[in-house]
Each structure stands twice: as C-alpha cells, then as structure tokens.
Amino acid sequence: MIEFVLPGSDGQTWSSAALHGNGPVALHFIKKTCPVNAGAMTYFKRMALAIPIRYVGVIDGDATAYSAYQAMHQMPFPCILDPDRELIAGYDVLRSPTLILFDGATERERWESFSAESLPDMARLLAAACSAEMPHLEFPGAPDREKFG
C-alpha cells in the first residue's frame, strides 16, 4: 500500500487509510491531457453510476486542472488531486486510463486499457467486489480493440 495524504476535489483530505480502510474501491487514474482517457470517460462514468462501489479518481493536476477537466467531463465521483504524480508513480501507472480494483489494501484487478470486450468484464468484477448484482450496462461505440494512451 502506498502511504499518502493528498487533497481531493470534494474538499476532503484523502489518505491511504481512508481510501483502503472501508472495503472495496475502484481507483481510476486520469491523465488530464490524454485524448484516449477523455474518450473512455463516458464508459467509466456509466459504471461509476450503475455499480455501488466506492469509485474514486486520481487526476494528475491541481484544483484548477481538475475544475477544467470536470467542466468538460462531469465526473460523478470525487478525485484525488495528484499534481506531483505521487500516487501515479507509487502505483506504477504508465497508461491512461488505468482502473485498479482494491479490496482493502490488496490490489485485485488492474486494467490499463478499455474496449468493447473488457468493459463488461470490468463492470462484472466491480459489481462482484461490492456484492452487487450486475446491472444491465451497454457500451455503444466502445472500440473493438484495447485502447490506451
């Protein structure tokens, strides 16, 4: 587990204990200038809204960068602000979008891309992690091949 204390878009201070201490969490790493991540956001937002798992973003920017990104993408989840890329480096995130499923401090799954094939698998595993029924989700327009930036 990476030890950290960073500000969040929700005005809270986020720490490793707060993030990992309350059951499963989906941690979505967002590179604010990546067009692939921007294209994937529609699908990730759909999962975040439909599956009752704690879903938290990590964006490589400060509050100003987050506000600009949020104005474009209307993310329905809070983001940890990581302008110095402390978490990004600590979790060895090299691609965008990356989604990591944690159960407590244990990394259970990691996706470093998205596609029409992998999105339903992500949704199924996120739902199972929080003991929820798999919602009916569709991902129209998702790429046939894995896409990453």
For residues 103 and 22, the answer to whether their CB atoms sit within 8 Å is no
Is residue 146 one of the residues assigned to a domain? Answer: no
Q: Look at the chain and report how many structural domains it folds into.
A: 1
Listing DSSP states for 15-28 in one string gives EHHHHHSSSEEEEE
The one-letter amino acid code at 40 reads A
For residues 28 and 38, the answer to whether their CB atoms sit within 8 Å is no
Is residue 148 one of the residues assigned to a domain? Answer: no
Instruction: Tell me the CATH number at 37.
Output: 3.40.30.10
What residue numbers bound the domain in which 87 lies? 5-129
Is residue 141 one of the residues assigned to a domain? Answer: no
pTM across the whole model: 0.95
Is residue 74 one of the residues assigned to a domain? Answer: yes
Report the number of secondary-structure helices (H) and strands (E) in the chain.
5, 7
Is residue 30 one of the residues assigned to a domain? Answer: yes
CA atoms 110, 113, 117, 119: torsion sign: positive
pLDDT in tens, the chain (149 residues): 789 999 999 999 999 988 888 889 999 999 999 999 999 999 999 999 999 999 999 999 999 999 999 999 999 999 999 999 999 999 999 998 999 999 988 999 999 999 999 999 999 999 999 999 999 999 999 999 999 98
Structure tokens at 42: 């529609």
Give the pLDDT of residue 18.
Answer: 86
- Integer-rounded Cα radius of gyration of the chain: 14
Give the pLDDT of residue 2.
Answer: 86
Is residue 28 one of the residues assigned to a domain? Answer: yes
CB contact burial 63-74 (16+ within 10 A = b; e otherwise): eeebeebeeebe
